[in-house]
């Protein structure tokens, strides 16, 4: 019987002939923690009696959740992390303004095909877009990884999501993944590795594939995956220190289930509050009043996302009844935003550009809603209170965000003349 | 009774018991002592739960137990409240991992939900992979756990396990 990508990656990292459903202890290639999760991991590491970390070059620490620090307790956490990095000689320490963890890892070449990656953050599944197995873990698990470089896993079964058809230019990977989550539901893929495939996914750039994989966790998945191809290798070239192992499914690999999606006529999608799987076509929510628009996050803060929004906003002003926050997902993207003239478009349109980080996505600072206010956000979660107590979050694509900013109400980007 | 051999009464809960039901987010920052915090376990749907149960009692739940946030407080308060094990149709993934990390036995057994009543006496043997309903002697097979996971549970948590062995 053939093997899936996940089964092969776990075999490579555990030296055991594991198949889906088996438990194993595997070697980790890269471990990431940020200012939301590192503190407890550090405490537990020290509690375990850790004297040195397993491999300082394989640990990445990032200050992104509250960056720059908005209050003393965050400052204390940041200080603890800086000191930990110094003490254990962790060079891959990214201080404030570097960007969101899930952008930094791929952009700076920490992710390679065939890798086994863990992050103390649920959206670590993003990196499956590059053909790695990458998943979120808790802080105590992370302490065990800091200590030993190993972690236990249950090898997941695989769901295949096969997508065919051509999307409208203003209907994006975000709309597709929202649609998929609406169908499979928030717990429909619990534990599974979800592999996105088919001609539509093959046609997607890496940024779009990351958007898909990023949200796999919103259907309960352990990771999202896209089988590596030429686009993957092109992206990795000049980023990773050496080429990785390209791991693909065997032709007779066994998948637990296959879902088919045909997307020729897909509308932009909206996830209405307070659950990510509350997904409806935009037609049903057009005209909904909003107060704030947020363009950014590990889901949609990449250059491609900013480009499409800038294209829509070019030479125009956002509606006087709304405010729009733009947050490039990394310093490199921020620089490109400036160099390529996107920053000027956003500023002239009346947007506020924040420094790279998570910002309002997690409700820590930099764009918190007042009770009862509504945000159209390109992020990945619309749970009650996530962007501020009693604030309402509608999730949509960068194109929908820009169209909504112009109209001042939720608006369909397809209706804007190009 | 070892930590892999659990005996207690069943407390039943439904589907999608999220981490906010297990422990209200508002307590997370206001109560730092875990023993104190555990008094509020399951309070949102079962006020006084922590007082009503006896040590070793078993939560039996539907699907997706532990969904929501990835905070480790959720399995911790159940453990501190005296819950011996949670048996569910399936668990949210990060809760499942965190449960082992903090040493709370969690068991997937899809049939148990329909074949148990609140108050039934159960015995669970994790090493043998068997759940026994002591009220009617009906037994349920579960996939036996690998030895390193059993060891983590026996030793109390992943931190204790690492203290003792310096690794898995
Ligand atoms: S951008 Fe949002 S979802 Fe992504 S890592 Fe930051 S807080 Fe989490």
Please list, in sequence order, all residues whose beta carbon lies within 8 angstroms of the beta carbon of residue A183, skipping any fewer than 6 positions away: A259, A261
Distance A64 CA to ligand 1 centre (A): 8
Cross-strand pairs, A280? A270
Please work out whether the CB of residue A215 comes within 6 Å of at least one atom of ligand 1. no
Find which of A152, A159, A186, A218 to mutate to test the B interface (most B CBs within 10 Å of its CB).
A152
What would the two tokens of residue A384 be? 């009650």
Contact A224, A199 (CB under 8 A): no
Please list, in sequence order, all residues whose beta carbon lies within 8 angstroms of the beta carbon of residue A92, skipping any fewer than 6 positions away: A57, A59, A60, A61, A108, A110
Name the residue ranges covered by the structural domains of chain B.
5-165
Please work out whether the CB of residue A365 comes within 6 Å of at least one atom of ligand 1. no
Quick one: which of A197, A175, A208, A209 has its CA closest to A281? A175
pLDDT tens for A266-317 read: 999 999 999 999 999 999 999 999 999 999 999 999 999 999 999 999 999 9
Cβ distance of A137 and B167 shorter than 8 Å: no
B168 neighbourhood in chain A, CB within 8 Å: 25, 144, 148, 150, 152
Find which of A6, A53, A138, A385 to mutate to test the B interface (most B CBs within 10 Å of its CB).
A138
Closest atom of ligand 1 relative to the A301 alpha carbon = 1
Cross-strand pairs, A271? A279, A395
Q: Mean pLDDT for chain A?
A: 96
Cβ distance of B90 and A190 shorter than 8 Å: yes
Contact A233, A112 (CB under 8 A): no
The three-state secondary structure class of A398 is helix
Q: Indicate the helix (H) or strand (E) that contains A201.
A: helix A199-203
Q: Which mutation among A38, A121, A327, A383 tests ligand 1's pocket best, with the greatest number of atoms within 8 A of CB?
A: A121
Q: How large is the average pLDDT for residues B138-167?
A: 93
Please list, in sequence order, all residues whose beta carbon lies within 8 angstroms of the beta carbon of residue B147, skipping any fewer than 6 positions away: none
Q: Which mutation among A106, A126, A298, A368 tests ligand 1's pocket best, with the greatest number of atoms within 8 A of CB?
A: A298
B102 neighbourhood in chain A, CB within 8 Å: 140
CA distance A348 to A14: 54
Peptide bond into A274 cis (omega under 30): yes
A141 neighbourhood in chain B, CB within 8 Å: 97-98, 101, 158
What pLDDT score does A417 carry?
64
> How far is the alpha carbon of A320 from chain B, nearest alpha carbon, in Å?
36
SS3 of A263-293: CCCCCCEEECCCCCCCEEEHHHCCCCECCEE
CATH number of A5-260: 3.30.499.10
Cβ distance of B167 and A148 shorter than 8 Å: yes
A·B CB contacts under 8 A: 79
CATH number of B5-165: 3.20.19.10
State residue A238 phi and psi, 5-degree precision.
70, 0
Distance A381 CA to ligand 1 centre (A): 9
Quick one: which of A105, A166, A95, A69 has its CA closest to A302? A105
Closest atom of ligand 1 relative to the A34 alpha carbon = 5
Quick one: which of A298, A291, A308 has its CA closest to A367? A291
ipTM: 0.88
Please list, in sequence order, all residues whose beta carbon lies within 8 angstroms of the beta carbon of residue A315, skipping any fewer than 6 positions away: A345, A348
Cβ distance of B167 and A147 shorter than 8 Å: yes
Provide the pLDDT confidence category of residue B69 given band limits of 50, 70 and 90. Answer: confident
Name the residue ranges covered by the structural domains of chain A.
5-260, 270-412
pLDDT tens for B97-107 read: 999 999 999 99
What pLDDT score does A236 carry?
98
Please work out whether the CB of residue A358 comes within 6 Å of at least one atom of ligand 1. yes
Find which of B90, B101, B106, B143 to mutate to test the A interface (most A CBs within 10 Å of its CB).
B101
CA dihedral B75, B78, B81, B85 (to 10 degrees): -110
Q: Is the pLDDT of residue B53 over 90?
A: yes
Please work out whether the CB of residue A302 comes within 6 Å of at least one atom of ligand 1. no
**Chain A positions with Cβ closer than 8 Å to B:** 23, 25, 40, 44, 47-49, 122, 136-141, 143-144, 147-148, 150, 152, 186-187, 190-191, 220, 222
CA distance A191 to A197: 19
Find which of B34, B92, B97, B142 to mutate to test the A interface (most A CBs within 10 Å of its CB).
B97
Cβ distance of A140 and B167 shorter than 8 Å: no
What pLDDT score does A364 carry?
86
What pLDDT score does B24 carry?
79
CA distances from B84 to B11, B38, B71, B116, B125 (A): 11, 14, 20, 16, 12
Q: Which mutation among A103, A104, A379 tests ligand 1's pocket best, with the greatest number of atoms within 8 A of CB?
A: A379
Q: Mean pLDDT for chain B?
A: 91
What pLDDT score does A389 carry?
87
pLDDT tens for A79-98 read: 999 999 999 999 999 999 99
CA distance A29 to A291: 43
Q: Which residue has the higher pLDDT, B152 or B44?
A: B152
CA distances from A268 to A186, A319, A353, A397, B21 (A): 19, 21, 25, 7, 33
Q: How many Cβ atoms from other residues are within 10 Å of residue B143's Cβ? A: 11
Residues of chain A with pLDDT under 70: 417-418
Looking at domain A270-412, does it have CATH number 3.30.499.10?
A: yes
What is the pTM assigned to this prediction?
A: 0.94
Cβ distance of B162 and A137 shorter than 8 Å: no
* Percent of chain B scoring above 90 in pLDDT: 77
Provide the pLDDT confidence category of residue B29 given band limits of 50, 70 and 90. Answer: low
What pLDDT score does B28 carry?
60
Provide the pLDDT confidence category of residue B1 given band limits of 50, 70 and 90. Answer: very low
Please work out whether the CB of residue A210 comes within 6 Å of at least one atom of ligand 1. no
Please work out whether the CB of residue A101 comes within 6 Å of at least one atom of ligand 1. yes
Distance A328 CA to ligand 1 centre (A): 13
Peptide bond into A169 cis (omega under 30): no
Cβ distance of A187 and B102 shorter than 8 Å: no
Contact A42, A87 (CB under 8 A): no
């Amino acid at each position: 019987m053939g093997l899936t990508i996940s089964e092969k990656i776990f075999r490579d990292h555990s030296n055991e002939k594991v198949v889906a459903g088996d438990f194993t202890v595997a070697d980790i290639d890269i471990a990431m923690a940020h200012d939301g999760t590192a503190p407890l991991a550090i405490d537990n590491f020290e509690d375990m009696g850790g004297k040195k970390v397993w491999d300082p070059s394989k640990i990445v620490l990032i200050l992104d959740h509250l960056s720059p620090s908005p209050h003393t307790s965050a400052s204390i956490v940041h200080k603890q992390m800086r000191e930990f990095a110094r003490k254990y000689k962790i060079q891959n320490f990214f201080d404030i303004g570097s960007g969101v963890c899930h952008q930094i890892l791929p952009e700076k070449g920490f992710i390679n095909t065939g890798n086994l990656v863990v992050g103390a953050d649920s959206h670590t599944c993003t990196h499956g877009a590059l053909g790695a197995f990458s998943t979120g873990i808790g802080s105590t698990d992370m302490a065990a990884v800091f200590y030993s470089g190993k972690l236990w896993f249950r090898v997941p079964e695989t769901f295949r999501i096969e997508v065919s058809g051509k999307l409208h230019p203003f209907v994006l990977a975000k709309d597709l993944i929202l649609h998929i989550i609406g169908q499979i539901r928030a717990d429909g893929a619990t534990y599974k590795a979800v592999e996105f495939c088919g001609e539509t996914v093959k046609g997607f750039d890496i940024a779009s594939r990351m958007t898909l994989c990023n949200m796999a966790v919103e259907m309960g998945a352990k990771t999202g995956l896209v089988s590596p191809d030429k686009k993957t290798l092109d992206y990795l070239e000049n980023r990773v220190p050496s080429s990785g192992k390209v791991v693909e499914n065997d032709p007779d690999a066994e998948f637990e289930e296959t879902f088919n999606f045909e997307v020729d006529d897909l509308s932009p999608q909206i996830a209405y509050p307070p659950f990510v799987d509350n997904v409806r076509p935009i037609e049903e929510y057009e005209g909904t009043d909003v107060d704030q628009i947020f363009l950014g996050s590990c889901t949609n803060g990449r250059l491609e996302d900013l480009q499409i929004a800038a294209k829509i906003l070019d030479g125009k002003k956002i509606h006087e009844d709304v405010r729009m926050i733009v947050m490039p997902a990394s310093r490199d993207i921020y620089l490109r935003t400036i160099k390529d003239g996107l920053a000027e478009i956003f500023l002239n349109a009346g947007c506020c550009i924040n420094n790279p980080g998570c910002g309002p996505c997690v409700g820590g600072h930099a764009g918190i809603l007042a009770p009862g206010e509504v945000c159209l956000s390109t992020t990945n979660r619309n749970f009650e209170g996530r962007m501020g107590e009693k604030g309402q979050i509608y999730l949509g694509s960068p194109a929908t965000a820009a169209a909504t900013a112009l109209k001042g109400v939720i608006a369909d980007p397809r209706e804007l003349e190009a | 009774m070892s930590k892999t051999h659990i005996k207690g009464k069943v407390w039943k809960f439904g589907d999608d018991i999220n981490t906010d039901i297990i422990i209200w987010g508002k307590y997370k920052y206001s109560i730092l002592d875990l023993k104190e915090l555990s008094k509020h376990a399951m309070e949102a749907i079962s006020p006084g739960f922590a007082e009503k149960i006896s040590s070793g009692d078993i939560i039996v739940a539907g699907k997706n137990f532990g969904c929501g946030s990835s905070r480790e407080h959720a399995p911790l308060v159940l453990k501190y409240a005296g819950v011996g094990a949670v048996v569910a149709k399936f668990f949210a993934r990060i809760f499942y991992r965190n449960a082992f990390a903090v040493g709370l036995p969690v068991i997937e057994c899809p049939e148990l939900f329909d074949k148990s009543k609140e108050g039934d006496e159960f015995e669970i043997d994790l090493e043998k992979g068997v759940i026994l309903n002591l009220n009617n002697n009906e037994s349920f097979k579960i996939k036996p756990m690998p030895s390193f996971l059993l060891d983590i549970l026996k030793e109390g948590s992943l931190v204790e396990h690492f203290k003792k062995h310096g690794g898995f």
